[in-house]
Structure 1
């Protein structure tokens, strides 16, 4: 175990650690246009690039660094890299598949530099290298006339996630975060890829896994209830397993409670700032969100907590203050 990993685990035993909040929400506040995404390097790119937020680590790194810094100054212990869709099979939509490795390295280096700049001996900061869910699912047919038709297969996902993992490690990530899992088969490919890269490199990082309950059915998009999701991935022996996205803290609470009931490892959660309104915006205030999270912490559910869609540094600051004096969940 590396010194950084040991330090992280020690801190997690002492207090509830704070994850950052939404990246996309913060990027939207900058009201970026097509030329911002293109920069000089991609000025003549043949496809529109606006909305490809991962590319900003190359074309507008100062904006991403600024967002990382805001979350750290709000009290985050862990910041997530800005590379949610940075695998070749996702980036092919923008004809950027050949830049996947570079984006992962750059995203990790950017977060690493800001985290190191803000870190102190009393409050070290960590970088979670993100492996997103992939736009394509290995479990669901893409053709109603052919139940076996798939947009991507397990081996292709492993190749994608292996490339991204190597890039994140090269860039200096402390943790690998497999998040927003809606298809457990995709997540299994990510776990296999991560473990294979660790074996190849002769070193490993702590792994966090976070699934997504997509609606009031209490299931992931591919049909698993919380307990089934957990049992499908417990073999990975992650640092934490938990839930994020899709639901606000009010709706997500019962599923976090279920993870807490069954998990043999740490529990993480980063819910949305409520449910989107008719304009697609999130209305839960920092104080309202913090009140929910405080109750979760008092119930003994949490080891790591942050925010997902709609959350901001103000939300993270309120959450950090709300759980500061509450003991973390006991991990056996």
Structure 2
């Protein structure tokens, strides 16, 4: 009897976590590599689940794809690993259990693969599994419904075997993009899945609750693979602490929600599967189900009306100046606040505040942003880096910024910790700037990173960083275009020291309708110029600029004046081709930045005959 025919008649039991069992044995590396090195151990794991009552076992291939194996230098072993995995599972199963070829999700908090890379990687692994004649496929732990749909459609074109598709949820009942579980499962059914369900992240209680609103279907069956529990962390290891007997009591609950395939995910062992089997003994599948009344969705309030014109709107219509003025590395803010007052009086549009640039700690830019907004009334543009916060910290940080009424953000990946004051510190990088931009825009729709309602939307305008100081500008522009697709509203460039580069950038971005603020940072000395050119990633000076600074290196004041002169020349070109100017204050010398703002004021007045920036912005 084939898999679907068996499921029509009774509830089938899946296996539990392979990785959890191997982890408990002290194996802590690529579990998929063990298909080649520890055949007997893998076969024993499969047999342990079959003896516990599993009707279906999964191949040890969850991460046996090119992209994930490359983390261990095993990318050339895809065929060998998948082939061996199926053979081990088939040997263990005999005629006692069905063998499912397992393919796990790739997109996640640690994966930045493109859709085309995922397709190629999936096809390679799929071919290996189908060649070995598995009884079906299980696509599991997909947080991204679009990714799962893409690979499901590929699989369905290649095979008529039964396909199980399991999504994973951060929050009960909703996927990370806000799609309700019933809608997601219906979509997968319509895309060709024979069995649709959920696995990972949640334990039995929340999985059962999530399934209460999922109706029975005539076209597909339901599956559930809950985690053993929420994990605890002891002595550097994740530990799942619930008792297997708990699964026995939960088995009937899953059956009552119409589930026809029940197994286990993280933390589950043969004892959990044995408990499921005992709990389901003599129970037949239900044929009808009453759906719980859906709760009334929370109505999002309208976005807050901002009193100031958004920065990208200003820069689309007229010249706009923003200034980077970093918070102190100490707790004395007297000079910093004096500088902010002077810059505000000069008439700039915003103060941009770096997020521990060059991986060196400063006063929290969120705290200093709130201070200058409240005490001086100037608009803060806060940099948010992916380096220092995991997804929990990032969402909390953004919620805090929104609560403080701070709506302007520069989303950046961040400098690695090794270049900063604490090279032993770890970098987080749960996401990179592209993903962060997307998540911020998701918050603007009133949705948390996990897909749960925030009860009101945020109102962020998102800037993105752009580095034109590269050999192939067209590749950099492609990254800019990608950031726009993720939601970037405007761009701030790295400091540019070449008028020709500005002109080249203008031509290369003619098709871009998002404003670009050109970064200009005055030089203070020849040594400063050489440091920036040779040691700071993303900054390159022209030979002429370096020579000009060397020529006055013997005189400190002349060096400063020459740096200002070079900055003014760059401003001339920038204002001819772009509306946005992004002045980066050197070494807290805000007096120099004020002089450059005054120079821009004079140019606006002389070129257009209009009021100065100071008069316009303080009107």
Query: Which TM-score applies when normalising by structure 1?
Result: 0.80
Deviation at 1:9, TM superposition (A): 2.0
| Unpaired segments ≥5 residues, structure 1 | 1-5, 33-49, 143-149, 199-203
Query: Is 1:31 matched up with 2:29?
Result: no
2:182 to 218, 221, 227: 227
Q: CA RMSD in A?
A: 2.2
1:75 to 53, 60, 82: 53
Asked if 2 retains the 8 angstrom alpha-carbon contact of 1:267 and 1:303, the reply is yes
Alignment of 1:163-182 (within 5 A): 163-182=124-143
Deviation at 1:255, TM superposition (A): 1.3
Asked if 2 retains the 8 angstrom alpha-carbon contact of 1:181 and 1:210, the reply is yes
Deviation at 1:278, TM superposition (A): 4.1
Deviation at 1:292, TM superposition (A): 1.2
2:403 matched to which residue of 1? none
Deviations along 1:20-77, one digit per CA (max 9) or x if unpaired, are: 0011110012213xxxxxxxxxxxxxxxxx5110110011111111000000011100
Q: How many residues are paired up?
A: 286
1:127 to 99, 106, 109: 99
The structure with more radius of gyration = 2
Deviation at 1:270, TM superposition (A): 0.8
Deviation at 1:284, TM superposition (A): 1.7
2:167 to 211, 218, 227: 211
1:294 to 239, 252, 277: 252
1:87 to 55, 62, 65: 65
Query: Is 1:266 matched up with 2:238?
Result: no
1:161 to 109, 122, 133: 122
Q: Aligned to 2:207, what secondary structure does the other structure show? A: helix
Aligned counterparts of 1:167 and 1:306: Cα–Cα separation in 2:
24
Aligned counterparts of 1:165 and 1:330: Cα–Cα separation in 2:
33
Asked if 2 retains the 8 angstrom alpha-carbon contact of 1:268 and 1:302, the reply is yes
| Unpaired segments ≥5 residues, structure 2 | 290-619
Higher relative contact order (CA 8 A, sep 6+): 1
Query: Is 1:183 matched up with 2:144?
Result: yes
2:32 matched to which residue of 1? 54
2:281 to 298, 302, 324: 324
Aligned counterparts of 2:53 and 2:112: Cα–Cα separation in 1:
40
Q: CA 1:222–1:60 in structure 2 vs 1: closer, same or farther (change >3 Å)?
A: farther
Deviations along 1:191-219, one digit per CA (max 9) or x if unpaired, are: 12212333xxxxx2110011111135x33
Aligned counterparts of 1:331 and 1:71: Cα–Cα separation in 2:
30
Deviation at 1:273, TM superposition (A): 0.8
Deviation at 1:152, TM superposition (A): 2.1
Asked if 2 retains the 8 angstrom alpha-carbon contact of 1:13 and 1:330, the reply is no
1:3 matched to which residue of 2? none
Deviation at 1:235, TM superposition (A): 2.1
Aligned counterparts of 1:113 and 1:223: Cα–Cα separation in 2:
42
Asked if 1 retains the 8 angstrom alpha-carbon contact of 2:10 and 2:285, the reply is yes
Asked if 1 retains the 8 angstrom alpha-carbon contact of 2:102 and 2:137, the reply is yes
Aligned counterparts of 2:212 and 2:198: Cα–Cα separation in 1:
11
